[in-house]
Chains A and B, each alone.
Chain A
């Protein structure tokens, strides 16, 4: 039996900066996971991934990442995605340093 579909977000890296971005339900990209579109339907998720992947001049390496719903929007379920949305643990660099400074849409 195929595994049950778990909720996902579309994530990628921005072409110029290379930092982590997420697809929103408004078809824009956000730098914060909590603003991403959480998809619970597999067919819809695949379609959104396809749409995201076609934006070759904006993003690199789009894929579906597991996430879970919360009051504060989608949250990661795996530590790799936790690091991606936060930044490295040895310096206060990356997302954690620029959190919500810029309104966060591309």
Chain B
């Protein structure tokens, strides 16, 4: 993992000192809210419905146990004992007092964390595949590239006041676990025919009110050209992107309006201009960064105990089958810890749970943790011989739910329970769906099914790319939920199709139940997932289950 050097530490200390003074001036009445707002947003501090919200960056979702312990400390000392992991691999605290925030930021700085550029029209926290460094199918660890981009984009003078925010994601595997195609810019680490490692660059993806799938602007950017190329893309957009209308300001609209070829030509021109200014310092830095991400010292040990437990304990077996993924090192597994216990808030972990996770990482996980955009926590490197101990500890902390990738592993934004932008609630809908399918004891039969819920058109809950997407709206002063079907967040990314009229708050859970029951009837067998059935059959047969009355009326 990346460790801050003296420069990083000094930069952060200075920035926190500045913000502390800004907060003091605001409280003393020397700054108006109009003056203060851009300053607090630069430091990740929002004002929501019931309180301030501090969004802390977890760069590319990677953290160590000391950092996780600090996140627990913040939750306990300055919040209400919990934190909310987000779809951007960040954590949000929903109840800080303005006067406490400088102390929170100082506590974070002690473990090399901050809230810089988690808001505002800047380059946001760089996200990455949450199995980075552990996945069996990756070309190389994408985190050094993500860290390089993080350092380049942090406080980048050209990109502090852009027309809108800009989100970058990095992946290096066959499977896309980072929703690359829904980002303003995505870097996919690839290998060319000559065997050289380079980068495929995608631009213009995004969700929100105008969802778009990212397009390949360059199939292969050489390793030493990466930063200059990304800088050229952001620079071109920063100049020609629309500033007259915030709904048309994202790069996806710029690409759409100008056409990919035009943007590609402009980027090539800008790249030619700025490339000579990258004189190799970035490559030296990259080499340093790479050293920080050296693979842990994987150990060899017998796995007999694991196999015995697997065969003897059906609950453990179910958890192993559902929550574990293949690791690149022999004898190891990637453990996804579900932060989606049935009936609980997706992505919310208590301080105590965070400490358990930190302890497990220290004891059994080479001191590494990851946060996924799916709002779960990952122990990326666990030897199979430790899995029973890990499982036992997770059980004690109520973190052992075996539902990864299943119907109750729901992404949900905070929605109108917290967010000032929301038009309807998301969390209770997620809670009720998970509770209902748990009662039905059907979710393992249903298999892989991703439900994603957003409480407004901005789509923080990724509803467009959910197999089942739910969008909460305000229709004439009442919460109303629209369903989209067939979305896909992976390498075969697709925007879901709107199923029809929306459902009232008390109708949405029964509607989802009818839909899923319909799928169970429609599928060719348990091997055919919801998404596969949908792709085979199209919207019509699913619609019949969602709107039985319309069907009856038409008959």
Question: Which A residues contact B (CB, under 8 angstroms)?
Answer: 13, 15-20, 56-57, 60-61, 77-80, 83-84, 87-91, 93-95
Let me know if A18 and B428 touch, CB within 8 A.
no
Q: How far is the CA of A31 from the CA of B98 in the complex (A)?
A: 17
Let me know if B416 and A87 touch, CB within 8 A.
no
Question: Which of B43-51, B196-204, B274-282, B527-535 sits within the interface?
Answer: B43-51
Let me know if B50 and A94 touch, CB within 8 A.
yes
Partner among B95, B345, B477 whose Cβ is within 8 Å of the Cβ of A90: B345
CB of B80 closer than 8 Å to a CB of A: yes
By a CB distance below 8 angstroms, the chain B residues around A87 are 50
| Number of chain B residues close to chain A: CB under 8 A | 32
Contacts A79-B479, A83-B49, A84-B49 supplied; 14 other A-B pairs, CB < 8 Å: A13-B47, A13-B51, A15-B98, A16-B98, A18-B51, A60-B33, A61-B33, A77-B477, A80-B474, A88-B427, A89-B425, A90-B417, A90-B431, A93-B95
* Binary CB contact string for chain B from 466 to 491 against chain A (1 if under 8 A, 0 otherwise): 00000000100111000000000000
The 6 closest A-B pairs by CB, nearest first: A57-B29, A88-B417, A18-B52, A18-B51, A94-B50, A90-B427
Can you list 20 A-B contacts (CB < 8 A)?
A15-B27, A16-B97, A16-B99, A17-B51, A18-B48, A18-B50, A19-B51, A56-B32, A57-B27, A57-B29, A60-B33, A60-B47, A79-B477, A79-B479, A80-B416, A83-B425, A84-B49, A87-B50, A88-B427, A94-B50
CB of B28 closer than 8 Å to a CB of A: yes
Q: How far is the CA of A91 from the CA of B80 in the complex (A)?
A: 10
Nearest CB to that of A60 among chain B residues?
A: B33
Let me know if B416 and A94 touch, CB within 8 A.
no
- Knowing A18-B52, A56-B32, A61-B33 touch, does A89 contact B417 (C-beta < 8 A)? yes
Nearest CB to that of A62 among chain B residues?
A: B33
Let me know if A79 and B478 touch, CB within 8 A.
yes
CB of B418 closer than 8 Å to a CB of A: yes
By a CB distance below 8 angstroms, the chain B residues around A77 are 477
Partner among A18, A88, A91, A94 whose Cβ is within 8 Å of the Cβ of B97: A18
* Binary CB contact string for chain B from 79 to 119 against chain A (1 if under 8 A, 0 otherwise): 01000000000000011111100000000000000000000
Q: How far is the CA of A87 from the CA of B478 in the complex (A)?
A: 18
Query: Which residue among A18, A77, A80 has the maximum number of chain B CB atoms within 10 Å of its CB?
Result: A18
Let me know if A20 and B50 touch, CB within 8 A.
yes
Tally A-B pairs: CB < 8 A: 74
Let me know if B51 and A83 touch, CB within 8 A.
no
Let me know if A88 and B50 touch, CB within 8 A.
yes
By a CB distance below 8 angstroms, the chain A residues around B51 are 13, 17-19, 94
Nearest CB to that of A81 among chain B residues?
A: B49
By a CB distance below 8 angstroms, the chain B residues around A79 are 416, 474, 477-479
By a CB distance below 8 angstroms, the chain A residues around B425 are 83, 89
Partner among A19, A56, A61 whose Cβ is within 8 Å of the Cβ of B50: A19
B33 CB, nearest partner CB in chain A, Å: 5
- Knowing A79-B479, A83-B417 touch, does A56 contact B33 (C-beta < 8 A)? yes
By a CB distance below 8 angstroms, the chain A residues around B474 are 79-80
A66 CB, nearest partner CB in chain B, Å: 9
* Binary CB contact string for chain B from 304 to 317 against chain A (1 if under 8 A, 0 otherwise): 00000000000000
Q: How far is the CA of A106 from the CA of B29 in the complex (A)?
A: 17
A90 CB, nearest partner CB in chain B, Å: 5
Q: How far is the CA of A15 from the CA of B99 in the complex (A)?
A: 9
Nearest CB to that of B427 among chain A residues?
A: A90
Q: How far is the CA of A38 from the CA of B418 in the complex (A)?
A: 25
A70 CB, nearest partner CB in chain B, Å: 18
A18 CB, nearest partner CB in chain B, Å: 4
Nearest CB to that of A20 among chain B residues?
A: B50
Let me know if A83 and B52 touch, CB within 8 A.
no
Let me know if B479 and A89 touch, CB within 8 A.
no
